[in-house]
Amino acid sequence: MKILLFGASGQVGRACRDALKQPGWDLTALSRKRADFSCPEQVTACVQRSRPDVVVNAAAFTDVEGAEKTPDMASMVNGECVGSLAAICAAMDIPVIHLSTDFVFNGQGSRAYREDDPVNPINSYGASKLKGERLLRAVHPRYICLRTSWVFSGRPGNFLTTMLRVGAQRTTVSVVGDQVGCPTYAGDIAATIAELVQRYEEFGDLPWGLYHCSSPEPCSRYEFARHIFAEAEEAGLLDPAPWVKKISSYQFPTLAARPAYSALDSSKLTEALGHPLPHWNRGIRQVCQALANRAVPSESPTLLN
């Protein structure tokens, strides 16, 4: 099984590099340096050169604030180029596993979003990702699009590592309590992708389409932070952990609006796989323990800086 992975240096990309390293699988993992999604011809050429059995796309313009400043670039990377990738893969009959986001929803819902709920992004990042979803669906019948949310890992720059960094510097950390979603460990997303590739190899087919792919049990950012600090203290990363103060979103203004409620209902994927993703608490524990042992696979050695 020949797999071509884009976005190989991101959180999910790195986790995929580990999860897709399996006997009999030939993985080509490309980062932005070799496949820049602001240049669709380059990405198309990579597919033509590699001739893989399956493409996994973990590349994305994920800077939510930055997308407000450069919406055209976000749209190119997350939208138009995904369309070009889908078109070449459709022409070469190569299935695509792609990732999208809970930010396609406006956050006004009161129950976890299902795949067929109406979309209405409230920021440029969400709009650009929705464009990518639509272009993929329009040109390629054999795709899996996994919408995930609140992704964390041991890599710098995500919510968990930011909390650890800030928590090491302060006795009190303020975190918004009025944004609710489903945290999801990058390693669990990668394991899901590996499982899908495995099935495709075995059966030559997959239940193509759109899936929500998040850990069960929504929580607020405040609750997420409290769990992170509890696990970090337990693992000996913080001694003591800071006090977490619950604040409102209006006390933490950002350029990009965030959906207030963006929990995803992943039961369609649970049914397809025969099991849910693990609870996010397990991922937090894994990351904290790995950081304490300085043993996060494929990760920077300066994780807490």
Ligand X SMILES: NC(=O)c1ccc[n+]([C@@H]2O[C@H](COP(=O)([O-])OP(=O)(O)OC[C@H]3O[C@@H](n4cnc5c(N)ncnc54)[C@H](OP(=O)(O)O)[C@@H]3O)[C@@H](O)[C@H]2O)c1
Nearer to ligand X (CB atom), residue 62 or residue 215: 62
* Cβ proximity of 81 and 131 under 8 Å: no
Find the Cα–Cα–Cα–Cα dihedral 15, 17, 20, 22, rounded to 10°.
Answer: -120
User: Which position among 58, 86, 104, 135 is part of the footprint of ligand X (CB under 6 A)?
Assistant: 58
Least Cα distance to 280 among 212, 220, 224 occurs for 224
Nearer to ligand X (CB atom), residue 10 or residue 242: 10
Point out which span in 6-14, 19-27, 248-256, 290-298 binds ligand X (CB under 6 A).
Answer: 6-14
Tell me how many residues contact ligand X (CB under 6 A): 26
* Integer CA distances (angstroms), 97 to 64, 136, 137, 175, 185, in order: 22, 10, 12, 33, 18
DSSP helix, strand, coil percent of the chain (3-state; round to 5): 45, 15, 40
* Integer CA distances (angstroms), 254 to 26, 122, 161, 281, in order: 42, 13, 19, 27
Smallest separation (angstroms) from ligand X to the CB of 62: 4
Per-residue interface string for the shown chain with ligand X, residues 18-37, x marking contact by CB under 6 A: -------------xx--xxx
Catalytic residue among 113, 125, 211, 261: 125
Tokens of 85: 């990738």
User: Which position among 101, 106, 215, 262 is part of the footprint of ligand X (CB under 6 A)?
Assistant: 101
Tokens of 50: 């590699």
Nearer to ligand X (CB atom), residue 132 or residue 242: 132
Least Cα distance to 196 among 143, 148, 147 occurs for 143
Q: Scanning residues 134 to 163, which ones bind ligand X (CB under 6 A)?
A: 148-151
Nearest-CB residue to ligand X? 10
Smallest separation (angstroms) from ligand X to the CB of 236: 26
Instruction: Say which amino acid occupies 299.
Output: E
Q: Does 286 bind ligand X (CB under 6 A)?
A: no
Is 125 one of the catalytic residues?
yes
Per-residue interface string for the shown chain with ligand X, residues 191-230, x marking contact by CB under 6 A: ----------------------------------------
Find the Cα–Cα–Cα–Cα dihedral 46, 48, 53, 58, rounded to 10°.
Answer: 30
Supply the DSSP string of 145-160, one letter for each residue. Answer: EEEE-SEE-SSTTSHH
User: Which position among 77, 145, 176, 263 is part of the footprint of ligand X (CB under 6 A)?
Assistant: 77
- Name the residues annotated as catalytic: 125
Interacting residues toward ligand X by CB under 6 A: 7, 9-13, 31-32, 35-38, 58-62, 77, 99, 101-102, 129, 148-151
